[in-house]
Chains A and B, each alone.
Chain A
Amino acid sequence: MELTGKERIWQEYQKEIAGDNYFYARSCIRQTFFPGSEWAYLDILRNKLDKRVTEDPKHTTCTGIGYHTDVVPAETTMTVVARHFALMTEAGCENITPSCITSFGLYTEILDTWEHHPEIEEKIREFLWKATKREFKKPANLAHTSDIIYKFRNEIAALAPHRLRDVHTGRPLRGVDHIGCHYAKMFPAKGIGGAEFPAVLSGLIQAWGGESVDYPERRHCCGFGFRNYLVMANRGFSVANSKKKFESMQAYEPDFIVANCPGCAMFLDKWQYTLSEMEGVTYGQHGFGIPVFTYEELTALVLGYDPWEIGLQMHQVAVEPFLDKIGIAYDPEAKYLNSRGESMGRPACPTYMKVIK
């Protein structure tokens, strides 16, 4: 069929995403701040969508944070990533799917550099062989983990007991997406919707009955800026950029934020607390913050996973107002229990931002 008009244009913003047999590359940041998300992701892919996902415990950091803080040179980072490709090859896989946006951006950049400079690829192969005696094939398909959820969004909708709607009024919930700079700003053709028309997460929101909010600072950086957060003296940069986004989205009264990058999800959650302590401001309804989810958490919630099983008690902004709207039952007492059902105490309350005690 010949595509015309908008459909043809939109075609340029789609990408190939493999349908099965993925090699999963974990994210240091996601494991640290959203450990339940990685567990939920694998459970959804393997047990709900019936996909084959392989991982290898020998997989390490991609060194992306070192590369983008300029303490690890490019050749070193490329060789570490080449080792990841080798682990994928040894596992008999050819589709790689990193859980981190920084890794996804980095893998994309490296493959692009090798395309333009085969001599660099050759050099990296030699480095890898010298250091580890490993060899690799380049991945046939590189997709961020959220791309795969996007690909199966309609299948997920068919399985989901919940919709992104207010069960009391039927109103579609308003979701703000944040796809993260390194998802598509460097190589727009490698991200669904490119850098201009972010679709990877808004596509999920719409497929699951919600409404995606377009707001002026939608594409602005969350403010991580690597050295600008990691060095304490620079954190004003980080919080100022997040503040700019919150102020811009607040007018649209979003019910939730969903983020692609684990770093962004963490900042957008934690900086709401920081800003409330600094300035007494809150951006959500009734003195709460705006709940922030990773896309794995959002997927798991519509699929009916228990909120405390997937780690929502690790969020600073209270998630309960969202759970109440969408009609997800939860046990408030179970929130702070360990696996043996014993209490782990409770976090202290912020000064201004409301939380559920």
Chain B
Amino acid sequence: MSTLLERLKKNIHFEEGMNSCMNCGVCTAICPAAEFYDYDPRRLVDAVQRENEESIRELLRSEQIWYCGECMSCKTRCPRGNTPGLVVMALRQLSQEEGCFTESEKGRQQYALKRVIAHNILERGYCITPDLVKPEMHPEQGPVWEWVYAHMDELYERMHANLKQAGPGVLRQIDDDSMQELHRIFEVTGGMEYMERIEQCSVKKAEELGTTPEEYFISVYTENNGRHGN
């Protein structure tokens, strides 16, 4: 069994994102996550650079690796050509493979993301469709969206869309053959297995906490302990 470090080094994101860090902090200065969270990409890259197994494992269990928004603003600025955002992607993958993500509040949210996004992709062939943006889950969308939602069929027809119908155009129903191809791609490439792992670790965590997966889903989607800000 290879060490965490060896596995990180094999990750393509890690390889592309990590050269050597001189700790200048330029990435932190431009990072939108560092501005509002107790988060510092410089510290994170430095911690990985030290190549200490224990501190890497600690990172995988920490909140630290879940704040980044993957905007990749850091890539434009690092004088050493690092991309902390890519290093984060590699750490997140490892954290999920190792089942460490359920040890932090922000990490546990992967269950909500997996349930929502995987459902959309594998059931609809879209990341998002209008009926999935339910006003009660999205109060920030405001009254116009509520109106759009209430008159969805008529309104998208007015917008020349082909909502849930066969054939080409906006928001068409993806045909069965294409959906099967998409599923097979997920199977062949390990995407299904990857998501299954997130599911299993989360269900196990829910059991440990004495809640049902449904309750667990709602809590990881909505709870914020208020200790993430800087």
Q: Hey, which bits of chain A sit against chain B, CB under 8 A? A: 26, 28-29, 31-32, 35-36, 38-39, 55-58, 60-61, 63-66, 68-76, 78-80, 83, 105, 113, 116-117, 120, 127-128, 130-132, 181-182, 185-186, 188, 195-196, 219-221, 223-228, 230-237, 239-241, 244, 270-271, 273-274, 308, 311, 313-316, 337-339, 344-350
Contacts and interface: CB of A to CB of B under 8 A. Distances in A.
Nearest to A271: B140
B146 A348 contact: yes
Contact of A270 (B106, B142, B155): B142
A336 to B, nearest CB: 8
Nearest to A43: B160
Contacts of B137: 232
B125 interface: yes
Interface in B63-98: 66, 68-73, 75-76, 83, 89, 92-93, 96
Contacts of A239: 140
Contacts, number: 260
B32 A75 contact: no
A314 B189 CA distance: 38
Given A73-B93, A339-B154, A31 B171 contact: yes
B184 A233 contact: no
Contact of A70 (B89, B154, B161): B89
Q: Is the interface of B mostly helix, strand, loop or mixed?
A: helix
B184 A131 contact: yes
B141 interface: yes
Contacts of A274: 140, 142
A262 B208 CA distance: 40
A65 B188 contact: no
Interface in B142-196: 142-148, 150-151, 154-161, 166-172, 174-175, 177-179, 181-182, 184-191, 194-195
Given A70-B110, A76-B186, A128-B185, A338 B157 contact: yes
A182 B194 contact: no
